[in-house]
Amino acid sequence: MMDNSAERAIAQSNSYVRSSLASVDSCVHELLLRQERQERTTLKLIASENFASSAVLEATGSIFTNKYAEGYPGARYYAGNEIVDELENLAIERLKRLFGSEHANVQPYSGSPANQAVYRALLKPRDKVMGLPIPEGGHLTHGWDINFSGTDYRRVPYGLHEKTQQIDHDLLRDTAKRERPRLIWIGGTAYPRVFDYEVMAEIALEANAYLVADIAHISGLIAAGVHPNPVRHCDVVSSTSHKSIRGPRGGFILSRNEDRYQALYHPKSKYNLARRIDRAVFPHLQGGPHMNVIAALAVALQEAATPAFRVYGQQTVKNAKALAQALLERGYDLVTGGTDNHMLILDMRDRPLSGKAYAERLSKAGIITNFNMVPGDPRDPAVTSGIRLGSPAVTSMGMREGEMVQIAAFIDLVCRQPNDPDVHASVRKDVANLCAAFEVPGITDR
């Protein structure tokens, strides 16, 4: 038990931490305030962004920032880690319980480092890897040629059905049987439909391939029970810890303990799958983990296990569907014709401007999006023909289907008159007024 003087000292210290930035660095403080103002008055429709809670932000900026903790709980290379051992074990157990996984690693610095660790744990250089290409909605680390995954490993892409623009499982199966990849990725950054993990697991088994799900975008939807859970179908699952799950900017890996292909691909290894994953993260790729991020992840996982989070996940999908429907009714084309999750991709290839140009105009009007490639995109990846929209952040603010109809009207106004600054200014004012009616987690709730 602490005496009153010690408690007062801690309270004063916390107060100092909250108020010290302005006096120490007025430039950074001003940039922080400007960012807060921007996020309070604009519509954050980037599918990979969200609002972390005040509790998550508090843990991220906590005293755990100061601690070096190379190694794993119970096997550190620095002394004084008894408390952070408890912290990391807490995050691990919460993560395993939330997703029903046998093993979890919470140390990856982000999603791409997590995926790099997966490669190191499962493959050898030049092994074959199947993944969805970026124009079809995949991620850089799934075998794209300018990424390490496409230069260190042999890339075998799979694609979409020409008519449905969804994964062509028949073609994928034929390709996997012919090419015999060592690893198949399922997941992406711009795929607005539900992934069929059961069918993909059958295909991977037929090819003697590891199946790895990248759930960076949909981890929150899985935790909320509105998207299928890949854990029982996949050998490994990787993710960021932000995006739809509303945590800090970090990553995690889930896996089975035992490797079903140990005798085939790793006969000389003395380590099981879980241990190889851990060793790939540390010491192979990383040094000391960011314990402040792990603390914030533990908080986010606690929040994700609540009934309120399930409601948020359900509403995120409802909002994406409502936004998609409202845009379809205004004559816009959507990749796959709609969405099953939190994102939708506008196909603007038949419109006069590029996706980048439309995204820039929308930003001037306070609608923050990102330009994105679409299947069969005729434009360069630096400009693209698409715009990706996401519902997680506006859902976290408390917006519902009615607001999605309003947002679609704002988008339509700007895209129909992309070169009219008066329209941009008018929509910008309306957007700010709409946002003012809602709380912004981590900003207005402190």
What's the confidence (pLDDT) of residue 446? 67
Cα separation, 392 vs 388, in Å, equals 13
Residues of the chain with pLDDT under 70: 1-18, 446
What is the CATH classification number for the domain harbouring 357?
Answer: 3.90.1150.10
Q: Which one of the listed residues 42, 240, 369, 384 is annotated catalytic?
A: 240
What's the confidence (pLDDT) of residue 11? 44
* Strands 128-131 vs 154-157: parallel, antiparallel or unpaired: parallel
C-alpha triplet 430, 435, 438: angle, nearest 5°: 145
What's the confidence (pLDDT) of residue 444? 83
Q: Is 240 a catalytic residue?
A: yes
Let me know: does 295 contact 62? Beta carbons within 8 Å: yes
Residues 176 and 293 in one domain: yes
Q: Which one of the listed residues 249, 279, 318, 349 is annotated catalytic?
A: 249
C-alpha triplet 156, 161, 167: angle, nearest 5°: 60
Task: Point out the domain boundary residue: 270, 304, 338.
Answer: 304
Tell me the average pLDDT of the chain. Answer: 95
Q: Which one of the listed residues 49, 70, 85, 401 is annotated catalytic?
A: 70
Residues 255 and 228 in one domain: yes
What's the confidence (pLDDT) of residue 445? 74
What's the confidence (pLDDT) of residue 276? 98
Q: Which one of the listed residues 94, 120, 243, 246 is annotated catalytic?
A: 243
State how many domains the chain has.
2
Residues 98 and 186 in one domain: yes
Task: Point out the domain boundary residue: 256, 281, 304.
Answer: 304
Cα separation, 408 vs 327, in Å, equals 6
Q: Which one of the listed residues 88, 136, 168, 214 is annotated catalytic?
A: 214
Range of the structural domain that residue 285 is part of: 65-304
The burial of 307, by beta-carbon neighbours within 10 Å (0-12 exposed, 13-18 middle, 19 or more buried), is given as exposed
What is the CATH classification number for the domain harbouring 270?
Answer: 3.40.640.10
Tokens (6 digits) for 40: 């309070």
In a domain, 186, yes or no: yes
Coil, strand or helix: which one is 377? coil
Residues 78 and 223 in one domain: yes
Quick one: how far is CA 364 from the chain centroid? Answer: 25
Binding-site residues for (6S)-5,6,7,8-tetrahydrofolate, please?
138-140
Residues 300 and 343 in one domain: no
Tell me the C-alpha to C-alpha distance, in Å, between residue 28 and each of 61, 62, 139, 149: 15, 18, 32, 36
Let me know: does 138 contact 146? Beta carbons within 8 Å: no
In a domain, 183, yes or no: yes
Residues 238 and 277 in one domain: yes
Task: Point out the domain boundary residue: 278, 304, 330.
Answer: 304
* Strands 251-255 vs 236-240: parallel, antiparallel or unpaired: antiparallel
- Indicate the pTM of the whole model: 0.94
Binding-site residues, please?
138-140
In a domain, 18, yes or no: no
What's the confidence (pLDDT) of residue 74? 97
